[in-house]
Structure 1
Amino acid sequence: MGKSMRMRAQAVGVGVLLMALALDVFAASQVKSVRLWRAPDNTRLVFDLSGPVQHSLFTLAAPNRLVIDVNGAQLATRLDQLSLSNTPITGVRSAQRTPNDLRVVIDLSAPVTPKSFSLAPNQQYGDRLVIDLYDQGADTAPSLPPTTIADNPAVPVSPTQPAPKLTPPPPPGSKRDIVVAIDAGHGGEDPGALGPKGQHEKNVTLAIAKELQRQISQEKGFRGELVRSGDYFIPLRKRTEIARKKGADLFVSIHADAAPSRSAFGASVFALSDRGATSETARWLADNENRSDLIGGVGSVSLDDKDRMLAGVLLDLSMTASLSSSLNVGQKVLSNVGRVTPLHKRRVEQAGFMVLKSPDIPSILVETGFISNHNESQKLASASHQQALARAITGGVKQFFQQSPPPGTYIAWLRDQGKIAAGPREHIVSSGESLALIAQRYQVGLTALRSANSLKNDTVKVGQVLQIPATALAAQP
């Protein structure tokens, strides 16, 4: 080969190499934006990416810093516009170490425990890199693979998000308040449904939840507790754990519905489905960590020292009672809500939503309306309508607990003293219940129960509404 031909071959080789490098640079993922949220004891950073990346991180001291190396990425956004108030982050800076390798340095005012994971695209977002910075002393459980919200597959979550600071229930023997845990749906990087004018469900639900907490706490003998108090995300199963640790007697999750058809309208109330209850009972029995938890609210029962059969019976009884109460309070809330806004369905619906799966806490999910509907989205954003919805939910909750107050509560004491009328009681039959079991639960005689409902025999159907007479337990016929 002549000298000129060798030179041309070398030039071609260099050209191919340069082209390959250019293509490699072109193929690098873009960091399109960075989002930040503060939770009670952690800070979450989400890097929105145009494609998948590899990453690693390490911490440095004196001064405290977190270094994140993102391989296969280029920065295509600004980092100096993040709101860092009330976080341990004092600054965020970056450098492109190579055309394909990005380094992000987070300056910290205090040491943190970092955890990170990548998320694949879903219906709302593309690829993401999530960095959780836990404050020192926060409950940072061992990392688990990222999971997906069971009743909203579009929204991935971290299972290790810690709970807000918890207030333990008062000691037994006191006339304690009835505790209502109020869960504002979505939050943080999960906006929920979007309204026609860009309203975020997470903001609407938080506003209604705060108003509901205010109104419930104004009622003597009741206390409202927020599951989340700001714009941050809490994994679904963690929400029920927070309610349990707060000693909740009732769990109310607030949402705003959406549908492809903008004409869909109306509020709904959901309780757990029978199928969801069965699968959750099985999960608790299979999970050793859950078995060491308590069930039964104030009169809690530990499953840790029970054999599998007894634990299964206790769980089944607890879940059945919880579901029955959920349907009962749900119907009262639905009736009250129907006085202030149109209803989508006139009976309590049942579904396997994750936040409804407590075996020991009656739980309902209130869809306050369709945020995808133009008229309802405007109402849901209105403070006056939010107050009206909160009053309706509060009214339903009060009616339920005045009829069936938990033992040891101030409301139970008032009823026992004859200072409040128990009023007519209703029971919605759930799967697995018999008339005899219902009579025993409410301490009424079978004959009185049959008579109050004009029953010719002891056959009852799922969903049937029974009137519970105010009669002391009589001798069984």
Structure 2
Amino acid sequence: MADNLKVTERMKNWGYIAIFCCLLLAGAHSFAAADPAVITDIQYWLAPDHVQTIIFFDRAVQPSYHTRSNPDRFVLEIANTKDLFGDRSLDVNDVTLQRIRVQRLETGTMQVVFDLSRPAEATVQVLPGLNDQSDRVIVNLFDQVAQEQAQEERIEQQQAVQELKEKQHHIVVLDPGHGGHDPGATSANGLKEKDLVLDFAKRIKAILEQTAPNVKVYLTRDRDYFLPLPKRTEIAKEYEADLFISLHVNANTSKKAQGFSVYTLSEKASDDAAALLAEQENASDILFGGAETPLPLKNDQMLTFVLADLSMTASLQHSLEFGRISLNTALANLKKYGIAREGLKRANFVVLRSAEMPAVLVEACYISNNREEKLLDQKDFRHNIAASIANSIKEYFAEIGETRQTPQMAAVYQQEAKLDISNEPGDQQRMHVVRNGESLSLIAEKYHIDLAQLRQANQLASADMIYVGQQLWIP
């Protein structure tokens, strides 16, 4: 009896093992039979120092990659994947990249091979599908020779900038928004924001070169490629810009929205529409791979620091002044087209977060408005917009003149160090010298006076900013 029980128990154990193996085999078969991921498109853009390739997928993937030599190539591999168009080859014929080859191995692994013209450093970024965007893999191939040349050019650039400063020339950096695989707003008829604003920038530059020899213009990009938002401001800093203008056209779900507007940096948006626009513009780095670690859209701590520096250098005041001039000039020049005045607004734009220069973001009409879209598609209209912005730049620099030059940060620090006026409440001089991080409300509270009284005593409007070194009468 005992022997029979042992046999029965062994049979049960073998039965469990058989069932377990069957489950394993079924799972393996199910995994192997899973539908492969599909490459739906491949696009590339040529930047000055790198080639950017975007590979689009119908679902999330996890690629592996490596480099090979003799000949030089970079290989991306994605398991259980196929190409919608089958094996193929895309000729690039760039100094960095000869071609992109797509081939599926017998194992089901898809290889994307980048045949290099010369050595390059590669970075790979996997982007999830967000806001109607497909899952993507971004490959950047940085040309080592081009990077070395760019470093030499930066040294020459710094020398050129210093010569311009010595000659008291003004430097303007124009930033055509979006670019490359980030088209910006797109109209129903296929008009793309990235193309329009690049056209604006080139026209403004050409106009100023002909009519304002004391103004030097640089562009953050002069071709169709993507730039992360912080990189745009970094370029302006490298050129020691006296003015930074980010160029855009607007879009809205309502086709009735229309008009021309100019934005300056603010912690709090002037209205809900401005706040939404800033969030949409700021999202480009997350949606299009501008940063390996996504930038927070509401970084209040960083913005507070930036605004403290802005008040210290008076850059925000100059931004508001240029915004007023550019808005008035544009509306006067575009009057015959019936363009509405949407106004001078404020919002938290990442691209304006610079503490070293006046900076504005221009929204030149609505690509989503049928009438304005047709106008934007006309060369004459785009030239009028460019001419109005160019005239605004000349008027702004003429207005600030020699006595209202944008104060440099170092100079303001020196000014603050030399001031010998007490900031203690009860000082008989009743004069307060603004220090870093102070605001009108804090100063009013410090002296136990009403904020409105402080503004009235110093003839300040409610929207006025203060800056380090500014002397305020205390009533």
TM-score scaled to structure 1, two decimals?
A: 0.69
Matched residue count: 370
The 2-side partners of 1:262 and 1:163 are apart by: 46
Flag structure 2 segments of 5+ consecutive residues without an equivalent. 1-17, 270-297, 406-437, 444-454, 466-470
Equivalent residues in 2 for 1:186-197, closer than 5 Å? 186-197=178-189
Deviation at 1:456, TM superposition (A): 6.8
Task: Confirm whether residue 48 of structure 1 aligns to residue 40 of structure 2.
Answer: no
Match of 1:212 in 2: 204
Match of residue 74 from structure 1: 82
- Superposition deviation, residue 318 in structure 1: 3.3
Residue identity matched to 2:364: T
Deviation track 1:123-161 (CA, whole Å, cap 9, x = no partner) reads: 242100110000105669xxxxxxxxxxxxxxxxxxxxx
Map of 1:177 onto structure 2: 169
Please list, as runs of the form range in 1=range in 2, the aligned pairs for 1:243-392 lying within 5 A after superposition. 243-275=236-268, 282-283=301-302, 315=309, 317-318=311-312, 321-339=314-332, 340=334, 341-392=337-388
Secondary structure at 1:52's aligned position in 2? coil
Identify the match of residue 199 of structure 1 among 191, 196, 202. Answer: 191
Q: In structure 1, what is the Cα distance between the partners aligned to 2:261 and 2:76? A: 45
Secondary structure of 2:191's aligned partner: coil
Give 1:342 shift: 4.6
Given that residues 262 and 344 in structure 2 are in contact (C-alpha distance below 8 angstroms), is that contact kept between their aligned partners in structure 1? Answer: yes
Structure 1 distance, partners of 2:141, 2:152, is 15
Q: 1:396 aligns to what?
A: 392
Offset of 1:53 from its aligned partner?
A: 1.0
**Cα distance in 2 for residues equivalent to 1:46 and 1:188:** 10
**8 Å contact from structure 1 (residues 31, 48) kept in 2:** yes
Contact (CA 8 Å) 2:170, 2:214: kept in 1 or not? yes
Do the aligned partners of 1:178 and 1:406 also contact (CA within 8 Å) in 2?
no
**Counterparts of 2:110 and 2:344, CA distance in 1:** 52
CA 1:285–1:58 in structure 2 vs 1: closer, same or farther (change >3 Å)?
A: farther
CA distance in 1 between partners of 2:152 and 2:192 (Å): 23
Q: What is the deviation of 1:263?
A: 1.9
Alignment-mate amino acid for residue 259 of structure 1: N
Change (3 A) 1:264 1:316: closer
SS of the residue corresponding to residue 369 of structure 1 reads strand
Amino acid at match of 2:367: I
Q: CA deviation at 1:67?
A: 1.1
> Does the Cα contact within 8 Å between 1:267 and 1:342 map onto a contact in 2?
no
SS of structure 2 residue aligned to 1:386: helix
Q: Look up the match of 2:233.
A: 240
Q: Which residue of 1 aligns with 2:458?
A: 458
> 2-side partners of 1:269 and 1:76: how far apart?
44
The answer to whether the 8 A contact 1:196-1:373 is kept is no
Q: For the residues of structure 1 that align with 2:300 and 2:28, how far apart are their CA atoms?
A: 56
Q: Is the 8 A contact 2:247 2:362 kept in 1?
A: yes
How much is the aligned-residue C-alpha RMSD, in angstroms? 3.8
Taking the aligned partners of 2:459 and 2:63, their CA distance within structure 1 comes to 62
Once residues 183 and 232 of structure 2 are traced to their aligned partners in structure 1, the CA distance between those partners, rounded to angstroms, is 17
> In the TM superposition, what are the counterparts of 1:103-252 in structure 2 within 5 Å?
103-137=111-145, 166=154, 167-168=157-158, 169-171=161-163, 174-218=166-210, 219-252=212-245
* 1:221-248 Cα distance to aligned partner (Å, 9 max, x none): 0111111011100000110000110121
Instruction: Provide the C-alpha distance between the structure 2 equivalents of 1:385 and 1:30, rounded to a whole number of angstroms.
Output: 43
- Report how far residue 460 of structure 1 moved: 2.2
Report if the CA contact (8 A) 1:36-1:82 is conserved. Answer: no
1:183 deviates by: 0.4
Question: Which structure has the larger Rg?
Answer: 2
Letter in 1 for 2:63: H
Change (3 A) 1:316 1:188: closer
CA contact (8 A) 2:89 2:99 kept: no
3-state SS of the aligned residue for 1:338?
helix
Contact 2:330–2:385 (8 Å) recurs in 1: yes
When you count helix as a share of all residues, which structure comes out higher? 2
TM-score by length of 2: 0.69
